Chain A
Amino acid sequence: MVDTINAARTTLKQCSSDLLNHANVVATGVGYKVTNNKRTDTPCIICSVEKKLNALQLTSNDMIPAEIDHVVTDVVETGVIRAHQAPTERFRPAPGGISVGHKDITAGTLGCWVRKNNQWMMLSNNHVLANSNLASVGDAILQPGPHDGGSNPDDQIAVLDDFIPINLTGLPSECNIAGSITGFLNSLAGIVRSSTRLQAVTIQAEDNLVDAAIARPLNEDDVKADILNIGPIQGQSSAQLGMAIKKMGRTTGLTEGEVLQVDVTVNVQYGALQIAQFKDQIMAGAMSAGGDSGSAVLDEKDNIVGLLFAGSEQTTIINRIEHVFSALDLTL
């Protein structure tokens, strides 16, 4: 009996390639023998197999010997080992939760596949699929997005079909003169007890409910209605305060959070110079980063409740899926 791990490693070096030629073996390594579900102190050579078979199902050549050069062996079932595909890679068919983008942007997330007029549509944000209002219907949508190496036309997966324009305005003015004028006017408003106060803004803000767009696949074979690392969407639900939620996104992958605020009116910055006010939004704690925009947000039972589009280091801002589906006339 060999009692050191190092001796087992030396033996494994000599027999590893032979063991990997046995039918069913997917990996070899050194560890401690497990007997009756308990780890013992006996070093051993572990053969991971796709499926554990009994002696009758194997030829004698494919049987793993109980000992090799006095080192005991163990056989564990691990199934097929696959390389995890990163959400930034190219997928065909393409599930939700992976990199996508209009040809002129960096990259965002393909939220999920939805139906419109009996046709599959990819759902994400306007600022992901329609370049923040600047795109034209019919423009190329790439998977992965351009920042992740997607090129046009090789990686084109869809064409922009429709989007809800975002009412964008200039940022609050940092102009000192405008600031002084509004300050003066606001102090006057204080004197006359008016509850209205002014802020120097380049253009008057208008309300938005969604940052949403859909794209039509070039080939329906490229549609995978699941969400990566989550599975199929079970239905649709309405976000409530305290609800546990999750999303799969291009940048931070699968993350979980909780609905901390509802009925949120929030000012969201687009690029360096523009801002848009959104009403009736859902706010969660930090569960996303740049590139996760467009992620479908699901509850614990895998019902879709929202479309993620913005955030800060402390928060995540999510459109209600009710508003997204009604604005673009979509169903699951």
Chain B
Amino acid sequence: MKHIIGILLLLMGSLNQANAVENMQANIEEVKNRHEAQLLSLPGVISVGIGLDDNKQAIIVVGISSDNEELKARLPQRLEGHRVSVEYIGKVRAQ
């Protein structure tokens, strides 16, 4: 009986963990929304959006207007568990 309860507890624990991972990925929009005002306040940051990495995983993409190493160094590599990619996009103008 003890063993069965132990196995059940283990199973429930792993289910919870799986949910936690799912929730974390579903929240990438929220994480982006929480941080974008601060990111966009940095001079040289032009855009913040959601893109895909080479493995088709959703990532937060920060667009910068000049290829500035100092700025890149100031930007986070992860935000609340989500990978951040920094890309040079130049100045965006109405066309």
Q: Using a CB-CB cutoff of 8 Å, which residues 55-95 of chain B contact chain A?
A: 56, 58, 61, 63, 87-95
Q: Is the CB of A127 within 8 A of B94?
A: yes
Task: Name B50's contact: one of A261, A266, A268 (CB within 8 Å).
Answer: A261
Q: Is the CB of B90 within 8 A of A265?
A: no
Query: Number of B residues whose C-beta is below 8 Å from A?
Result: 28
Do A288 and B52 form a contact, CB below 8 Å, given A195-B38, A196-B38, A314-B89? no
On A, residues with C-beta under 8 Å from B are 108, 125, 127, 132, 172, 195-199, 211, 241-242, 260-271, 277, 281, 283, 288-293, 308-315, 317
Q: Is the CB of A315 within 8 A of B50?
A: no
Q: Is the CB of B40 within 8 A of A267?
A: yes
9 A–B contact pairs at CB < 8 A?
A127-B94, A263-B50, A265-B49, A266-B47, A266-B92, A283-B47, A283-B49, A292-B95, A310-B94
On B, residues with C-beta under 8 Å from A are 29, 32, 36, 38, 40-43, 46-52, 56, 58, 61, 63, 87-95
Min CB distance B60 to A, Å, is 10
Whole-angstrom CA separation of A108 from B94 in the bound complex = 10
Considering residues B41, B90, B95, which has the most beta carbons from chain A within 10 angstroms of its beta carbon?
B95
Which residues of the partner chain B approach A309 to less than 8 Å between Cβ atoms?
94-95
Min CB distance A228 to B, Å, is 18
Which residues of the partner chain A approach B41 to less than 8 Å between Cβ atoms?
196-199
